[in-house]
Amino acid sequence: MSSTPSPRPAAVVNEQIRALWARGGRLSEVEQEAYHRLLVEWAAAVREECVQAA
């Protein structure tokens, strides 16, 4: 499998995701784009951490 490992741990990316939502209310268009990028990065980090644990 040729997945590119995330340079940051999933927990770090998750904190950024939580910080976006902690601002309250709806996300702006720019925040939504950042959120989607963070989700992709978080998912890659989780996969990488699972592979390393196995």
Write the pLDDT tens digit of every residue in 14-29: 999 999 999 888 999 9
The pLDDT assigned to 2 comes to: 45
Could you state, in order of their start, the residue ranges of all structural domains in the chain?
Answer: 10-53
CA distances from 5 to 10, 17, 19 (A): 11, 19, 23
The pLDDT assigned to 7 comes to: 83
pLDDT, greater one: 52 or 48: 48
Cβ atoms of 20 and 34 within 8 Å: the answer is yes
